[in-house]
């Protein structure tokens, strides 16, 4: 959509979470059909090379940081509507999280796909899951490396619903 044109030609705010008086509400989706929706988000946590080595070591044997972050991501996705004030509660039908170690960049990438059959999209669930996964990695490695940075968290793709297919550049 074109933000500038909607601003000039229409009185309605593009911020749909506010009503005509500018007050927040949980948007009415009662009349929207329950359809299949999917969203994929990604994010990174950058760290010292030695910290990345600790995580890499845990994959093969003990100290499975990424296995725990994966569970935290899935559990976090289910709590999205409790955390984000105007989010609709949604019955998630799938959540999957993947991690990649980027040695060159000394960082870990997390990608989460969430799905539902419902009247609204699941991008907040996918994004929340990514954030909880990255925070969990921070928590588990912070004794070794307090300077880790979470970065480039964004929506990659969104399928289903009236707004159609979105794909990040």
CA 43 → CA 79, 85, 158, distances in Å? 19, 22, 16
Q: Is 124 annotated as a binding residue?
A: yes
Site membership for a second copy, residue 62 (CB under 8 A) = yes
139 is catalytic: yes
How many residues touch a second copy under the rule CB under 8 A: the total is: 100
Site membership for a second copy, residue 25 (CB under 8 A) = yes
Distance CA 97, CA 70 (A): 6
Site membership for a second copy, residue 81 (CB under 8 A) = yes
Cβ contacts of residue 59 below 8 Å, gap of 6+?
66
Q: Where in 123-162 is the site for a second copy (CB under 8 A)?
A: 123-124, 127-128, 131-132, 135-136, 138-155, 158
Catalytic residue among 19, 139, 145, 169: 139
Question: What is the nearest approach in angstroms of a second copy to the Cβ of residue 104?
Answer: 19
Find the binder of a second copy among 9, 10, 11, 21 (CB under 8 A): 21
Cβ contacts of residue 56 below 8 Å, gap of 6+?
101
- Annotated active-site positions, please? 139
């Amino acid at each position: 959509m074109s933000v500038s044109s909607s601003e000039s030609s229409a009185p309605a705010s593009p911020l749909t979470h506010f009503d005509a008086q500018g007050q927040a509400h949980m948007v009415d989706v009662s009349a929207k059909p329950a359809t299949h929706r999917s969203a994929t988000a990604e994010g990174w946590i950058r760290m010292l090379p030695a910290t990345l080595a600790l995580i890499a070591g845990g994959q093969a044997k003990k100290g499975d940081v990424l296995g725990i972050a994966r569970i935290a991501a899935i559990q976090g996705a289910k709590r999205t509507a409790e955390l984000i004030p105007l989010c609709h509660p949604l019955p998630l039908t799938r959540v999957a999280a993947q991690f990649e170690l980027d040695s060159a960049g000394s960082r870990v990438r997390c990608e989460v796909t969430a799905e539902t059959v419902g009247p609204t999209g699941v991008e907040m669930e996918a994004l929340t899951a990514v954030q909880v996964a990255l925070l969990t990695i921070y928590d588990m490695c912070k004794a070794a490396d307090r300077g880790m940075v979470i970065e480039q968290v964004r929506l990659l793709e969104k399928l289903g619903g009236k707004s159609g297919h979105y794909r990040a550049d």
